[in-house]
Amino acid sequence: MWLNKEKTTESAIAHYKEQLSQSCPEYVVIDNLFNHSLLVEITSILQYPNSWQKQRHTYDELYVNDARWHATKAEQRFVQRDVFIQQNFCTSGLQSLPTPMQTSLPISLLNFLRSLEFMSFLSSIFNVDITDLNVEDPIINTNYFRLNTNDFVGQHADDSPGREVCLLLYLNPQWDDTDGGELVFLGDESCQQNEKNRTVAIAPLFNRCVIFNPSSKGSEHWVNPLNSKHSQLYRYNITSWYWSE
């Protein structure tokens, strides 16, 4: 239902593994991995405003409240974005959604990303056993996020102990080169991409999946700001973190 099977064959997986071995940081970009029409439906459903809540992190503390946020110096703030509140969405009785199937689609995709089928796919690419066996709350490791022109994700690392793979899936139809919002990896001097710049920038195109090893050299990353001319524009994505035993 969810995956484009042409992107999950043995030859495709071999290609992804080769890409990992040659990239810095260790990352793979897979376009059109997921069912295009289902993602289009999800994108329209995500427009419902009451399903979103502001989320803020500082370098000292995650999930800070408004008082702590305003008391923190600007240079110590590294995330301000909206997070999808699954409970609000599931209990809101959305009258604008015509069928129960559509109402369940966003949650169904999140569940699939934590399924044995999908984690096995990732395990085969990264040669590591990914499992939720010892993850206290798997649900919070996979969710939708959105950014507007006032939001930001500053430079940070995702290399928590036991975290093996990070995934980003972009849900931005008709994204333009001038819209901003690129994922940027810091890169590393030992595997510099070119003589002038070691960073790697990846545009958040629709149905583009980026998977990377958060412990690899140069995997620190940030998100470029959205173009300030597009105040009504949101950059949507799923972020999912995966762990070993």
**In-domain check, residue 157:** yes
Tokens of 171: 């849900």
CATH number at residue 130: 2.60.120.620
Predicted confidence (pLDDT) at residue 96 exceeds the cutoff of 80: no
**In-domain check, residue 84:** no
The mean pLDDT value of the chain amounts to 90
Domain count, the chain: 1
Look-up of token digits 């239902």: 1
Share of the chain above pLDDT 90, in %: 74
**In-domain check, residue 164:** yes
Q: pLDDT band for 98, please (50, 70, 90 cuts).
A: very low
CB 166 within 8 A of CB 122: no
Q: pLDDT band for 6, please (50, 70, 90 cuts).
A: very high
Identity of the amino acid at 123 = S
Predicted confidence (pLDDT) at residue 100 exceeds the cutoff of 60: no
Partners of residue 210 on adjacent β-strands: 29, 168
pLDDT tens digits, one per residue of 186-215: 998 776 555 567 899 999 999 999 999 999
pLDDT tens digits, one per residue of 153-184: 999 999 988 999 999 999 999 898 889 999 99
**In-domain check, residue 75:** no
DSSP 21: H
**pLDDT for residue 139:** 82
pLDDT tens digits, one per residue of 141-159: 999 999 999 999 999 999 9
